[in-house]
Amino acid sequence: MLLAIDIGNTNITLGVYAGEELLGIFRMTTKTPRTSDEYGVLLLSLLSSRGIEPSRIDAVIISSVVPGIMHSFHNAIRKYLHVESINVGPGTKTGIRIRIPNPRELGADRIADAVAAYSLYGGPVLVIDFGTATTYDLITEDATFEAGITSPGIRISANALWNETAKLPEIEIRRPESILTKDTVSSMQAGLIYGAIGQTKYIIQRVKEESGIDPLFVVATGGLGKLISESIPEIDRYDPELTLKGLRIIYEKTAADSRRRRD
């Protein structure tokens, strides 16, 4: 079995695969400092809660944008799962060419998203990930990562509202029925959600105009992606497991490349 792990700024998402079948998804917070033993016990507990025997995990692949926890995390995997993990990064076999001045700047999660989107939906494709940051990545027909856009995520914007103002409260992030709101909470919700919808529609339009690529398949992912995607007909597909699927595909490419080298 393969354990695919996406370590983001807010959450760590783990998926267990048997071949192409996703057996379970688990999440834990990223910002809580943990030792390797704490990570190890959490991993064993999460797997056991779904009836997955930890000894059956024979491969681990990780995409991470949080370098500070990687030492403890790697040690946990080595100590408790007895596996050496693969890190997605420069030199990893992905099948995607990265056409930016410094490819090392590109987050591993965005690479995984690009691989999954191109492999599953073809190219050209625009990937929108509604995570801690909202990212827009253009992959061309010939599997080239052509350009990327990064904006503050919806939760970052929400946190700024209630942390940087004296009277605005912390609110649930949801879409109000109308943009013509009458109270503080609904007005904040309207600004956050309809603002994100407007931004997303405009960026999709500008990407098409400046790249000259139209039609362009658009796939969205990320925790709040479904909420936004429902209001944007330009988004063709919402795929909540896109990053994990990309990690699985990258692992398969890496394993196949290793077998060819041995042969």
Mean pLDDT of the chain: 91
Query: Mind listing the pLDDT tens digit for each residue in 203-251?
Result: 999 999 999 999 999 999 998 899 899 999 999 999 999 999 999 999 9
Contacts of 212 (CB under 8 A, 6+ apart): none
**Multiple choice CATH, 122-247, 3.40.50.2300, 3.30.420.40, 1.25.40.850, 3.90.190.20:** 3.30.420.40
Across 20-29, average pLDDT: 92
- Does the annotation mark 109 as catalytic? yes
Domain range summary for the chain, segments of one domain joined by +: 2-87, 122-247
Domain 2-87 top-level CATH class? alpha beta
- Does position 261 have pLDDT exceeding 70, yes or no? no
* Among 6, 37, 58, 109, the one annotated catalytic: 109
For the entire predicted model, the pTM comes to: 0.91
Same fold, 2-87 and 122-247: yes
Residues facing 81 on adjacent strands:
none
CA 31, distance to chain mean position in Å, is 17
Instruction: Locate 122 and state its tokens.
Output: 């073809």
Confidence of residue 134 (pLDDT cuts 50, 70, 90): very high
252 DSSP β-pair partners? none
Q: How far is CA 5 from CA 106, 128, 199, 251, in A?
A: 17, 19, 29, 12
